[in-house]
């Protein structure tokens, strides 16, 4: 099992996210064997790794230890087929743009998050067992958290 941090060189949405965040990735997904679990504009779903690779370029990978595949699948089943949280992404994007003008502006939670929907970071955090709290992390921010040496 691993977490995949990606970008899509042909997607305007991916390019927009990278332009706003100024980071090397725009998406995060969870790989479980030959399957990828993720949240996209189509909602929360699973797809084969080969199909995922047709649209996504993996920039970073972080292996996941200490959690069983059955636990991940159960957590995914709780969220599968939910809609994508476009309002949450919009709030987050506006916050990032505003932060360039007002550097101290940093809400702790995503005020427009819809608790019945997820964007990619929220889903992966849920699969990892982190509390649902209206994520204010970019995919790259999550990468930096997960790749930080433990100890």
11-62, pLDDT tens digit by residue? Answer: 888 888 888 888 999 999 999 999 999 998 888 999 999 999 999 999 999 9
> What CATH number labels 2-147?
3.90.1720
Top-confidence residue, 40 or 97: 40
How many residues are present in the chain? 151
Q: Are 119 and 85 contacting, i.e. CB atoms less than 8 angstroms apart?
A: yes
pLDDT at 133: 65
Could you tell me the residue ranges of all domains in the chain? 2-147
* CA distance to 5, 98, 129, per residue, from 125 (Å): 13, 25, 6
Q: Which pTM does this prediction carry?
A: 0.85
Q: Is a pLDDT exceeding 70 seen at residue 119?
A: yes
């Amino acid at each position: 099992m691993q977490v995949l941090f990606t970008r899509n060189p042909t997607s305007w949405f991916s390019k927009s996210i990278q332009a706003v965040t100024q980071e090397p990735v725009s998406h995060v997904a969870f790989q479980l064997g030959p399957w990828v679990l993720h949240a996209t504009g189509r909602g929360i779903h699973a797809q084969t790794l080969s199909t995922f690779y047709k649209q996504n370029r993996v920039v970073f990978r972080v292996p996941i230890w200490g959690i069983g595949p059955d636990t991940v699948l159960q957590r995914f089943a709780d969220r599968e087929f939910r809609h994508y949280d476009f309002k949450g992404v919009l709030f987050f994007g506006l916050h990032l743009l505003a932060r360039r003008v007002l550097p101290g502006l940093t809400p702790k939670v995503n005020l427009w998050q819809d608790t019945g929907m997820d964007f990619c970071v929220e889903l992966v955090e849920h699969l990892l067992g982190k509390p649902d709290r209206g994520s204010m992390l970019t995919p790259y921010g999550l990468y930096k958290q997960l790749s930080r040496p433990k100890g």
